[in-house]
Structure 1
Amino acid sequence: MFEKHAALFLYAVSPVHMGAGQAVGVIDNPIQRERHTGHPCFAGSGIKGAVRHGFTAIGGNKEFIDRLFGPDAGDKDLYAGAVSFGDAQLVSLPIRSLKGGYIYATCPQALSRAQRLMGLIGIATNWPTLDVAEGHCLLINEKLLSRGNVLHLEAFEYTAKVSQELQMISSDLATRTMPDNEAYAFFHDKLKKDLVVLSDTDFAYFAQNAMLVEPHVRIDPETGTAKDGGLFYTENLPPESVLIAPILASQTRTGKKDDQLPAEAVMSQIRTVLDGKLLQIGGNATTGRGLVMAKVMED
């Protein structure tokens, strides 16, 4: 039984490749996606593995690894870990804009799911319910507009409406997502003023088609040239994306009475190690992929 709960916000600093492990379309190495929404996601098992792998590198005590995450497979003394990570779901996505460089796009569905997750954990949000029609959008910053009330994202035009209610959401989201330091001040302010709400349908299009796709070539070690058929494409979640995942903690389950930690201490360990730290998650670490900033929020 998990006794303590928290929300983990993940802000992508670099492109992130959480591989799906199988390809159906033209992209050889696609990222993980939710089946019902098509939104990019991070599997909870992948988040947990990344945290365990980098636990000591980001400041954790090596002695706590087995107690928090469980022993390695094949260990003679097996028991369950005391911390669990749920799947990370998409909150906002950077979309290229005619003005302002890019905006943080989201939709009522993504906001409602994030609000529901925080509500289940016990974090009060009081975000207003928003309704957006296809081809329209809600925004805060009028400087993003051109030709009156038109917002240009990629090759598309959206009829925009300034929303004062959105200001409450963007301010709260920026505070929960960004670390409180000078390095993230620009992004905190940009998320606060440049959050744009699209319809669920319009946002789903960008979530499916606005990813970073990189071509790669396999080199023949003998000739030093490209192998025949060696061209392949890898999909990445773009930097500046925001996701949210639940963290659940129980008391340690080692079976040893003198080696137990209560759920509060387990969550404290995870929060201390993760909060405000840079975490490497997913594949292609040697090419700088998978860098995300973690922010832990409790009730």
Structure 2
Amino acid sequence: MFEKRAAVFLYAVSPVHLGAGQAVGVIDNPIQRERHTGHPCFAGSGIKGAVRHGFETIGGDASLIDRLFGPDAGSADLHAGAVSFGDAQLVALPVRSLKGGYVYATCPQAISRAQRLLGLIGIPEGWPALPGIEEGRCLLANPALLSGDKLHLEAFEYTAQVSQDLPRLSEDLATRALPADDGYTFFRDKLKTDLVVLSDTDFAYFAQNAMLIEPHVRIDPDTGTAKERGLFYTENLPPESLLIAPLLASQTRTGKKKDDKEDWEDAAGVMLKIKNVINGKLLQIGGDATTGRGLVVAKVVEGN
């Protein structure tokens, strides 16, 4: 039973390809998506595997790996780990804007799901309730993004309403989701001012079609040249995307009686150890690591 709960915000600082396998459509290597929303997501197993793999590199004690994540499958002393990551769900997506470069787009559905997760782990967020938003309309806090009363995102025009309540949500989200380091000041400030709330339908369109698509060519190892019919396309979540995932901790397990456990740790100690290692750190998640893909910054927010 997991006794301690937290949320992990994952902020992409490079394109991220957490793959879903091959597909028969135009995109050969798609990213993982939720079945019911179509939003990009990170499977919890992928997050946990990435953190385990890079644990020592980002400053963790190698002797803690088996206790926190469980031993390798071939170990003679198998037991479950004490840390669990849930699936990361999308909170905000960068969308190209006529003014301001890009905005952080979201929707009532994405915000409500993040709000629900924070509430379940005991974090009072106090976000204002968002009204229903019709297709073709949006809420925003920064009127400087507008041309008249219109907001232009990609090739689309939205009738915008300036919300006096939205800054309360965006400021709290920016403070919780991004590290307090000076290097993230620009992005915290932009998230505070340039959060735009679209309808669930309009946001779902961008979540499906505003990804980064990269062409690749397979190389023949014998000739060093491109293989015939070797062109393929890989989908990536764009940088500046924001996701949130649950982080759960239990007491450590060893398969021994409690009195015999030399390195036994309670759930609070486990949560402290994992938080101290990953909070504010740059993690590598997903494929194409050698080309700089999959870099995300983790921010842990503990619940009560």
Distance 1:255 1:74 in 2: 15
Distance 2:219 2:250 in 1: 48
Using the alignment, how far apart are the partners of 2:101 and 2:8 within structure 1?
27
Give 2:124's aligned amino acid. A
Displacement of 1:142 in angstroms is 0.6
1:48 aligned partner:
48
Deviation at 1:113, TM superposition (A): 0.1
Structure 1 equivalent of residue 282 of structure 2: 278
SS at match of 1:164: coil
Could you give the per-residue CA deviations for residues 48-75 of structure 1, whole angstroms, max 9, x where no partner exists?
A: 0000000011110011000000000111
Equivalent position amino acid for 1:114 in 2: A
**Distance in structure 2 (CA, Å) of the matches to 1:21 and 1:57:** 27
Alpha-carbon displacement from aligned partner over 1:141-176 (angstroms, at most 9, x marks no partner): 111001x11000000000000001111110000001
Secondary structure of 1:270's partner? helix
Supply the distance in 2 between the matched residues of 1:219 and 1:184 (Cα, whole angstroms). 38
**Number of the residue aligned with 2:149:** 149
For residue 261 of structure 1, the aligned residue among 259, 265, 278 is 265
* One-letter amino acid of the structure 1 residue matched with residue 289 of structure 2: A
2:243 alignment partner AA: L
Q: Is the 8 A contact 2:78 2:255 kept in 1?
A: no
Distance in 1 of aligned mates of 2:7 and 2:201? 26
The percent of aligned pairs where both chains have the same amino acid is 78
- Cα deviation for residue 76 of structure 1 reads 1.0
Q: Structure 1: 5+ residue runs without aligned partners? A: none
Inter-partner Cα distance in structure 2 for 1:125 and 1:43: 25
Amino acid paired to 1:89: Q
Count of aligned pairs: 298
CA distance in 1, matches of 2:127, 2:49: 32
Report the more deviating stretch, 15-24 or 196-205. 15-24
CA distance in 1, matches of 2:245, 2:164: 28
Q: For 1:169, what is the secondary structure of its paired residue?
A: helix
Which residue is equivalent to 2:231? 231
Alpha-carbon separation, structure 2, partners of 1:169 and 1:41: 22
> What is the aligned partner in structure 1 of residue 61 from structure 2?
61
CA contact (8 A) 2:32 2:42 kept: yes
Q: Distance in 1 between matches of 2:30 and 2:269?
A: 38
Match of 1:9 in 2: 9
| Aligned mates of 2:2, 2:222 — CA distance in 1 | 55
1:1-299 equivalent positions in 2, closer than 5 A:
1-130=1-130, 131-146=132-147, 148-256=148-256, 257-299=261-303
1 CA distance for matches of 2:50 and 2:226?
32
Report the CA distance between 1:25 and its aligned residue.
1.7
CA deviations on 1:229-269 (whole Å, 9 max, x unpaired) are: 10000000000000000000000011342221000000000
Secondary structure, in 3 states, of the residue corresponding to 1:171? helix
Distance 2:55 2:166 in 1: 37
Q: Distance in 2 between matches of 1:169 and 1:85?
A: 25
